[in-house]
A and B are shown apart, each in its own frame.
Chain A
Amino acid sequence: MRFSKGLASLLGVFLLSGLVLAAAGPPAMAAPKGRVAVVFATGGLGDKSFNDSAMAGLKAAREKLGIEYQYAEPSAIAEYETFLTQFARAGKYDLIVSIGFDQADALKAVSARFPKEKFAIVDMVVDAPNVASYVYKEPERGFVLGMIAAMMTGRAGDPRINKEKVIGVVGGMEIPLIKANVAGYIAGAKYVDPDVKVLVSYVGGWADPARGKELTLAQFDQGADIVWQAAGRSGLGVIKAAQEKNRYAIGADSDQDYLAPENVLTNGMKFVDNTVFQAIQQVLGGKFKAGIHLLGLAENGLGYTRSLVPREIAAEVDKVKAKIVAGKLKVPENIDEVDKWLKDNKK
């Protein structure tokens, strides 16, 4: 028994010394212009993806809009509803935000129970009179990436580029969301160069990097030199393959440059930070609206990172992007529509 207590106190001292270094107190705040509560997805902060990006949006809203925020990091799916209820019961928040699609059940239940509270959910639709759902115009993201890839594959003097005008995309699963991305990608590529060939493969799962890599290597063998991953964790294999064969990969959802700094050409981004910021801004401005808010390039909900994209290509892309933002160019949403769309929208 004596031994165990000694061990415990030793461990305690060890933990203490680590904590003293890591510690930081909550900052003091003046009277806030509004109060926002956020329930993160179970991955928690530090996920280098949705949660961290949402947090950046919250911080921006604190600085620019003067709000005060409160957040919760659930460790289990069953905790979503508890946290949402806690926030709703407090009755002092102008907006309660759910991050991530798996909170839909909990938010549906809680929003019905607290009809006077205002809620928002990112990347999912919850049909309720007091919930604003923020989702993305997926094909627009694909379109921009398709343009970049098509312009790059024709470039000379880059060892990562081959002679063939072939690019590829590896999707996670053949579901409407991914197919919409792929439709945009094909349309974007053929919009800048009708001769470019686009290879499409599906992993059949979101967590299979080995198969993602295999499919990418197969696409490289067929002449592709730039492959976009729209495959979640399976997409890590796409980036790995590009690094090994010294080709280009395109990342998804968040900035994945750090995985292969020499081989990630760009990333198709979902700007969750902007989304959260806008949701807060709308509420503070008295413009809260339940229902679906579709965010695309125009709303700064989607975009791409400069990363390794040459300046002149980025300039070209931004010109077309401006057209989309201005509503002069509408990106097709289904793969079947792409051919007809290309005929109608010659560059």
Chain B
Amino acid sequence: MSGKKLFIDFAYSLGAVFFALLLGGVLIHLSGYDVREAYLSFFDGAFGNVYNLANTLMMTIPLIFTGLAVAVGFQAGLFNVGGEGQLYLGALASALAALFVRGLPPVLHIALALAAGALAGGLWALVPGYLKARTGAHEVITTIMFNYVGILLVAFLVKEYFKEPGRADQTSMIPASARIPELIPDSRLTWALFLGMLAILAVDYLLKNTSLGYEIQAVGQNLPAAEYAGIDARARMTVSMLLSGMIAGLAGSTMVLGVLHRFINNFSPGYGYTGIAVAVLARNKPWGILPAALLFGALQSGGMSMQLFARIPMDLMTLVQGLVILLVAAPALLEILAASRRRPKEVTPDGRDPDGHLQHQ
């Protein structure tokens, strides 16, 4: 991608955010609230002081992972909608590794719990990935379905085997050695932020500097050409789903090890789904994930303070967030759709489009 195109994309996204906030302001005004006060409290809540900034970043972390997970899938032409289920699998696996493996020094214990989370999330995504590669079962359908199965499976496991006595469906607290340390005391903002950046760095390196990354992108951009060039497309698809699931699993791990310090049923307000919006906004570019996730983190934490200090009800605040998503993400989605509509012209002799779908004409 040329620098100019990158700049235009960035400028466009920024403009869309601005326009969404403007439209949101109109809504706030029409609902009888003070727009100035609303947005002042919004920006103060998102970035106003160290504590609020930490809160924004705390809410950004899971979105970095879920956004990156979707982006990795997209690189191979796969739309992984299953981030939410993979996140829950990862979260529980991390909690169990933290609870049942004892006697490790802190850094090792955290690493082990993270690895368990990545593994669980990865395996959960591997199944749809394998099905896609082997049978062509559409990954959007299978990953969505796997969300339900995964979330309910985890809920069942917790209720049946790992529940702490009491009313809430949750595990016991994990030991201190498995907790990711805080960056700022009492802020719940942890070193997981750098873990997220590390993941972005790793994915960026993988895509730009390794043959595996090159092949994944080749499969994503032009499947027949990739196959013609001798790339094992099925294997690459499966690997990219595995990677995507591992990263989504880490989103759950960092919530458990850094914020909640135990697994709690239904802890996620949909980080996995918001990750899709993050990836779309970032145009699936690894480094674009960081500002995109930050935007959504800021919307959430700024919205919380809008609710508190401008007394704007949660519903209106969610609506403003929805507007931002709509204006920012919808044009990008339409572009992608338009691009995919242009592509079926490149149907291969065996009647498949570049995504490997059979074309019925």
Contact = CB atoms under 8 A, between A and B. Distances in A.
B330 A4 contact: yes
A317 to B, nearest CB: 29
Interface string A1-23: 10111011001100110011011
Contact of B27 (A5, A8, A15, A26): A15
Contact of B323 (A4, A12, A23): A12
Nearest to B166: A101
Interface stretch (B29-37, B200-208, B231-239, B346-354): B29-37
A83 B267 CA distance: 16
B307 A102 contact: no
Contacts, number: 94
B140 interface: no
Contacts of B58: 78, 82
B32 A82 contact: no
A1 B339 CA distance: 13
Given A78-B260, A89-B51, A11 B326 contact: yes
B168 A4 contact: no
A113 B51 CA distance: 14
Contact of B269 (A76, A101, A124): A76
Interface residues of B, number: 45
Given A15-B27, A16-B27, A4 B334 contact: yes
Nearest to B307: A72
Given A76-B267, A77-B264, A70 B30 contact: no
Nearest to B333: A4
A177 interface: yes
A23 B31 contact: yes
Contact of A82 (B55, B167, B311): B55
A104 B164 CA distance: 14
Instruction: Tell me whether chain A's interface is mostly helix, strand or loop, or mixed.
Output: helix
Interface residues of A, number: 42
A79 interface: yes
Contacts of B188: 78, 81-82
B48 to A, nearest CB: 12
B159 interface: yes
B267 A72 contact: no
A100 to B, nearest CB: 10
A73 B307 contact: yes
A223 interface: no
Contacts of A15: 27, 319
A42 to B, nearest CB: 8
A16 B30 contact: yes
Given A8-B327, A16-B27, A26-B311, A77 B260 contact: yes
Contacts of B264: 77, 102
Contacts of A246: none
A24 interface: yes
Given A8-B327, A78-B259, A19 B305 contact: no
A25 interface: yes
A230 to B, nearest CB: 13
Interface string B131-143: 0000000000000
Interface string A91-126: 000000000011011000000010000000000100
17 contacts: A1-B334, A4-B330, A4-B331, A16-B30, A19-B319, A25-B31, A25-B33, A72-B307, A72-B308, A77-B264, A77-B267, A78-B58, A82-B58, A82-B188, A102-B168, A102-B264, A105-B173
Q: Closest 8 interchain pairs by CB?
A: A25-B32, A76-B269, A23-B31, A73-B314, A4-B331, A26-B311, A77-B267, A4-B334
Given A12-B23, A77-B264, 16 more contacts: A3-B334, A4-B331, A8-B330, A11-B326, A15-B27, A23-B32, A26-B33, A70-B308, A75-B269, A75-B318, A76-B267, A82-B58, A82-B188, A85-B186, A89-B51, A105-B262
